[in-house]
Amino acid sequence: DAGVTQSPTHLIKTRGQQVTLRCSPKSGHDTVSWYQQALGQGPQFIFQYYEEEERQRGNFPDRFSGHQFPNYSSELNVNALLLGDSALYLCASSLNRQNNQPQHFGDGTRLSIL
Amino acid sequence: GQNIDQPTEMTATEGAIVQINCTYQTSGFNGLFWYQQHAGEAPTFLSYNVLDGLEEKGRFSSFLSRSKGYSYLLLKELQMKDSASYLCAVKLDDKIIFGKGTRLHILP
Protein backbone atom coordinates (compact mmCIF):
# COMPACT_ATOMS: atom_id res chain seq x y z
CA ASP A 1 0.00 0.00 0.00
CA ALA A 2 1.91 3.01 -1.31
CA GLY A 3 1.90 6.11 0.81
CA VAL A 4 2.03 9.68 -0.43
CA THR A 5 4.82 10.15 -2.95
CA GLN A 6 6.29 13.45 -4.08
CA SER A 7 8.73 14.37 -6.80
CA PRO A 8 11.33 15.64 -7.11
CA THR A 9 12.90 15.34 -3.66
CA HIS A 10 15.17 18.34 -4.19
CA LEU A 11 15.14 21.18 -6.68
CA ILE A 12 17.27 24.26 -7.27
CA LYS A 13 15.92 27.20 -9.24
CA THR A 14 16.78 30.84 -9.76
CA ARG A 15 14.66 33.92 -9.17
CA GLY A 16 12.00 34.50 -11.81
CA GLN A 17 11.83 30.90 -12.93
CA GLN A 18 8.80 28.64 -12.71
CA VAL A 19 8.56 25.27 -10.97
CA THR A 20 6.15 22.32 -10.94
CA LEU A 21 6.01 19.89 -8.05
CA ARG A 22 4.12 16.59 -8.18
CA CYS A 23 2.24 14.47 -5.68
CA SER A 24 0.55 11.08 -5.78
CA PRO A 25 -1.84 10.52 -2.88
CA LYS A 26 -2.02 7.47 -0.68
CA SER A 27 -4.01 4.66 -2.26
CA GLY A 28 -7.72 5.20 -1.62
CA HIS A 29 -7.41 8.91 -0.86
CA ASP A 30 -9.17 11.50 -3.02
CA THR A 31 -8.16 14.82 -1.45
CA VAL A 32 -4.78 16.50 -1.74
CA SER A 33 -3.53 19.46 0.28
CA TRP A 34 -0.30 21.39 -0.26
CA TYR A 35 1.76 23.07 2.44
CA GLN A 36 4.84 25.28 2.52
CA GLN A 37 7.19 24.75 5.45
CA ALA A 38 10.00 27.22 6.02
CA LEU A 39 12.94 26.18 8.16
CA GLY A 40 11.99 26.08 11.84
CA GLN A 41 8.32 26.80 11.14
CA GLY A 42 5.14 24.76 10.98
CA PRO A 43 3.56 23.88 7.63
CA GLN A 44 1.53 26.72 6.09
CA PHE A 45 -1.58 25.71 4.15
CA ILE A 46 -1.45 26.66 0.47
CA PHE A 47 -4.56 25.02 -0.99
CA GLN A 48 -6.58 21.83 -1.19
CA TYR A 49 -7.90 19.93 -4.20
CA TYR A 50 -10.88 17.62 -4.33
CA GLU A 51 -12.76 16.38 -7.41
CA GLU A 52 -10.21 18.23 -9.58
CA GLU A 53 -11.14 21.61 -8.12
CA GLU A 54 -9.48 23.95 -5.66
CA ARG A 55 -11.72 23.80 -2.58
CA GLN A 56 -9.83 25.79 0.03
CA ARG A 57 -6.99 28.29 -0.22
CA GLY A 58 -4.60 29.77 2.30
CA ASN A 59 -2.97 33.18 2.25
CA PHE A 60 -0.74 32.68 -0.79
CA PRO A 61 -0.50 34.87 -3.91
CA ASP A 62 -1.79 33.87 -7.33
CA ARG A 63 1.77 32.87 -8.30
CA PHE A 64 0.90 29.63 -6.53
CA SER A 65 -1.49 27.50 -8.55
CA GLY A 66 -2.36 23.86 -8.74
CA HIS A 67 -4.15 21.10 -10.49
CA GLN A 68 -5.66 17.73 -9.64
CA PHE A 69 -5.98 14.96 -12.19
CA PRO A 70 -8.69 12.30 -12.55
CA ASN A 71 -6.41 9.76 -10.82
CA TYR A 72 -6.30 12.15 -7.79
CA SER A 73 -2.64 13.06 -8.27
CA SER A 74 -1.82 16.73 -8.06
CA GLU A 75 0.65 19.38 -9.15
CA LEU A 76 1.76 22.59 -7.47
CA ASN A 77 3.01 25.33 -9.79
CA VAL A 78 4.87 28.42 -8.64
CA ASN A 79 5.60 31.22 -11.10
CA ALA A 80 8.06 34.12 -10.87
CA LEU A 81 10.01 32.48 -8.07
CA LEU A 82 11.30 34.64 -5.23
CA LEU A 83 14.09 33.95 -2.76
CA GLY A 84 11.42 33.66 -0.06
CA ASP A 85 9.86 30.71 -1.83
CA SER A 86 12.76 28.55 -0.64
CA ALA A 87 11.11 25.96 1.62
CA LEU A 88 10.02 22.37 2.01
CA TYR A 89 6.80 21.79 0.08
CA LEU A 90 4.64 19.07 1.59
CA CYS A 91 1.75 17.25 0.02
CA ALA A 92 -0.83 15.56 2.25
CA SER A 93 -3.68 13.30 1.22
CA SER A 94 -6.89 12.28 2.94
CA LEU A 95 -10.30 10.81 2.23
CA ASN A 96 -12.70 13.71 2.02
CA ARG A 97 -15.64 12.06 3.68
CA GLN A 98 -13.73 10.95 6.77
CA ASN A 99 -13.28 14.14 8.72
CA ASN A 100 -11.78 12.39 11.73
CA GLN A 101 -8.99 10.79 9.78
CA PRO A 102 -5.55 12.39 9.70
CA GLN A 103 -3.83 13.64 6.61
CA HIS A 104 -0.92 11.52 5.45
CA PHE A 105 2.14 13.48 4.40
CA GLY A 106 4.70 12.81 1.73
CA ASP A 107 8.40 13.37 2.36
CA GLY A 108 8.26 16.71 0.61
CA THR A 109 10.17 18.55 -2.06
CA ARG A 110 12.94 20.82 -0.84
CA LEU A 111 13.02 23.85 -3.12
CA SER A 112 16.01 26.18 -3.05
CA ILE A 113 15.93 29.51 -4.89
CA LEU A 114 19.29 31.09 -5.77
CA GLY B 1 -7.57 35.39 12.11
CA GLN B 2 -6.32 32.02 13.18
CA ASN B 3 -3.77 31.67 15.96
CA ILE B 4 -2.11 28.55 17.36
CA ASP B 5 0.54 28.94 20.06
CA GLN B 6 3.00 26.39 21.36
CA PRO B 7 6.43 26.76 22.97
CA THR B 8 9.30 27.04 20.53
CA GLU B 9 11.66 24.66 22.32
CA MET B 10 11.69 22.31 25.30
CA THR B 11 14.34 20.10 26.88
CA ALA B 12 13.77 16.94 28.89
CA THR B 13 15.76 13.98 30.16
CA GLU B 14 15.65 10.42 28.87
CA GLY B 15 13.14 8.37 30.89
CA ALA B 16 11.27 11.44 32.13
CA ILE B 17 7.84 12.85 31.26
CA VAL B 18 7.22 16.02 29.26
CA GLN B 19 4.04 17.98 28.51
CA ILE B 20 3.83 20.14 25.39
CA ASN B 21 1.04 22.70 25.53
CA CYS B 22 -0.94 24.20 22.68
CA THR B 23 -3.50 27.01 22.79
CA TYR B 24 -5.62 28.06 19.86
CA GLN B 25 -7.99 30.84 18.82
CA THR B 26 -9.65 29.87 15.55
CA SER B 27 -12.84 30.62 13.64
CA GLY B 28 -14.33 27.16 13.95
CA PHE B 29 -13.07 23.86 15.24
CA ASN B 30 -13.42 20.33 13.92
CA GLY B 31 -10.71 18.62 15.91
CA LEU B 32 -7.08 18.93 16.93
CA PHE B 33 -4.16 16.87 15.66
CA TRP B 34 -0.68 16.31 17.01
CA TYR B 35 2.06 15.37 14.57
CA GLN B 36 5.71 14.43 15.13
CA GLN B 37 8.31 15.62 12.66
CA HIS B 38 11.94 14.52 12.72
CA ALA B 39 14.41 16.85 11.05
CA GLY B 40 14.28 16.51 7.28
CA GLU B 41 11.32 14.15 7.35
CA ALA B 42 7.57 14.35 6.80
CA PRO B 43 5.19 14.92 9.73
CA THR B 44 3.71 11.69 11.09
CA PHE B 45 0.35 11.47 12.83
CA LEU B 46 0.32 10.99 16.62
CA SER B 47 -3.18 11.76 17.87
CA TYR B 48 -6.55 13.33 17.15
CA ASN B 49 -8.96 14.88 19.69
CA VAL B 50 -12.40 16.21 18.85
CA LEU B 51 -14.12 15.75 22.24
CA ASP B 52 -12.91 17.05 25.58
CA GLY B 53 -10.76 14.69 27.58
CA LEU B 54 -7.69 12.53 27.44
CA GLU B 55 -6.77 10.11 24.66
CA GLU B 56 -4.05 7.64 25.58
CA LYS B 57 -1.98 5.75 23.03
CA GLY B 58 1.00 3.93 24.48
CA ARG B 59 3.63 6.34 25.76
CA PHE B 60 1.79 9.30 24.20
CA SER B 61 -1.40 10.95 25.49
CA SER B 62 -3.26 13.98 24.24
CA PHE B 63 -5.74 16.17 26.10
CA LEU B 64 -8.30 18.64 24.81
CA SER B 65 -10.42 21.35 26.42
CA ARG B 66 -12.53 23.04 23.76
CA SER B 67 -13.95 25.65 26.16
CA LYS B 68 -10.41 26.78 27.01
CA GLY B 69 -8.99 26.41 23.50
CA TYR B 70 -6.26 24.26 24.99
CA SER B 71 -4.56 20.96 24.31
CA TYR B 72 -1.45 19.19 25.50
CA LEU B 73 0.64 16.26 24.35
CA LEU B 74 2.13 14.15 27.13
CA LEU B 75 5.13 11.97 26.40
CA LYS B 76 6.12 9.38 29.02
CA GLU B 77 9.29 7.32 29.42
CA LEU B 78 11.14 9.58 27.03
CA GLN B 79 13.55 7.97 24.59
CA MET B 80 16.32 9.58 22.58
CA LYS B 81 14.32 8.90 19.39
CA ASP B 82 11.60 11.24 20.71
CA SER B 83 13.87 14.17 19.88
CA ALA B 84 11.82 15.88 17.19
CA SER B 85 9.44 18.75 16.52
CA TYR B 86 5.85 18.33 17.68
CA LEU B 87 3.19 20.11 15.67
CA CYS B 88 -0.23 21.08 17.00
CA ALA B 89 -2.82 21.49 14.22
CA VAL B 90 -6.48 22.53 14.24
CA LYS B 91 -8.95 21.25 11.66
CA LEU B 92 -11.25 23.93 10.20
CA ASP B 93 -13.86 22.45 7.83
CA ASP B 94 -11.60 20.99 5.15
CA LYS B 95 -8.48 22.98 6.04
CA ILE B 96 -5.87 22.27 8.70
CA ILE B 97 -3.93 25.08 10.39
CA PHE B 98 -0.59 24.21 11.99
CA GLY B 99 1.25 25.83 14.85
CA LYS B 100 4.94 26.60 14.44
CA GLY B 101 5.92 23.45 16.28
CA THR B 102 7.80 22.69 19.49
CA ARG B 103 11.33 21.41 19.13
CA LEU B 104 11.93 18.81 21.85
CA HIS B 105 15.50 18.01 22.89
CA ILE B 106 16.13 14.83 24.90
CA LEU B 107 19.22 14.71 27.11
CA PRO B 108 20.80 11.38 28.10
Q: Please tell me the predicted confidence (pLDDT) of residue B65.
A: 97
Q: Please tell me the predicted confidence (pLDDT) of residue B34.
A: 97
| Residue B44 touches chain A, beta carbons under 8 Å | yes
| Contact criterion met (CB below 8 Å) for A105 and B40 | no
What residues of B are in contact with residue A44 (Cβ under 8 Å)?
98
What are the per-10-residue average pLDDT scores of chain B (108 residues)?
93 97 94 94 92 95 97 98 97 86 96
What are the per-10-residue average pLDDT scores of chain A (114 residues)?
89 97 95 94 93 92 97 97 96 78 90 96
Any residues with CB less than 8 A from the CB of B18 and at least 6 apart, and which?
B10, B12, B74, B75, B78, B104
Buried b (16+ CB within 10 A) or exposed e, B39-71: eeebbeebbbbeeeeeeeeeebbbbbeeeebeb
What residues of A are in contact with residue B42 (Cβ under 8 Å)?
4, 90, 105-108
| Contact criterion met (CB below 8 Å) for A64 and A54 | no
Give the separation between CA A55 and CA A71, rounded to whole angstroms.
Answer: 17
CA distances from B31 to A68, B63, B90 (A): 26, 12, 6
Residue of A46, A34, A54, A36 whose CA lies nearest to A94: A34
DSSP state letters, B33-72:
EEEEE-TTS--EEEEEE-SSEEEEETTEEEEEETTTTEEE
Give the separation between CA A42 and CA A105, rounded to whole angstroms.
Answer: 13
Tens of pLDDT, residues A51-67: 999 988 999 999 999 99
Nearest residue in chain B measured CA to CA from A58: B95
Any residues with CB less than 8 A from the CB of A61 and at least 6 apart, and which?
none
Of B31, B41, B95, the CB nearest to A48: B95
Q: Please tell me the predicted confidence (pLDDT) of residue A87.
A: 96
Nearest residue in chain B measured CA to CA from A43: B98
Give the separation between CA B34 and CA B10, rounded to whole angstroms.
Answer: 16
Q: Please tell me the predicted confidence (pLDDT) of residue A24.
A: 97
Q: Please tell me the predicted confidence (pLDDT) of residue A98.
A: 58
Q: Please tell me the predicted confidence (pLDDT) of residue A103.
A: 85
